[in-house]
Structure 1
């Protein structure tokens, strides 16, 4: 299984588990999957989250508001649709 598939499955699982009222930080996914070198995988996690957002499977937010993923500045959160 590829790293991106593993990240995708972890994101979808975590947001489903949290439910509509809560969100997940990309760093939580990175730490879950890559505990010893999670920071090195943050870009991968964010890239997969953006792809899932574009597919309509998750929503990327900042301060609880859905954002344009082409203009991300600062920390993001991932929520279920």
Structure 2
């Protein structure tokens, strides 16, 4: 079972490796953690929401602010710097 801590670490790692302002798709984290990455996406979004609440990540959709748990469709994440 993939823990929330493992997802958190992967999301923060992906964010840290991007240049300032660069975003990434949360599915990158899920794909790195599981072959069945689609099944992991709801948990990845939950952890992303927690990181947003902590002020560590931002979430956008088509360049506009979004929330991982309430936004339908593709989202992008980035480090809050």
| TM-score (norm. length: structure 2) | 0.86
| Aligned match of 1:13 | 13
- Asked if 1 retains the 8 angstrom alpha-carbon contact of 2:59 and 2:68, the reply is yes
Which deviates further from its counterpart, 9-18 or 70-79?
A: 70-79
| TM-score (norm. length: structure 1) | 0.86
Which consecutive residues of structure 1, in runs of 5 or more, have no partner in the other structure? none
Which consecutive residues of structure 2, in runs of 5 or more, have no partner in the other structure? none
RMSD (Å) for aligned C-alpha atoms = 1.6
Q: Deviations over 1:4-51 (max 9, x none)?
A: 0000010001011012221110111000011x2111101010110011
Shift of residue 69, structure 1, vs aligned partner: 5.1
* 1:37 is the counterpart of 2:36: yes
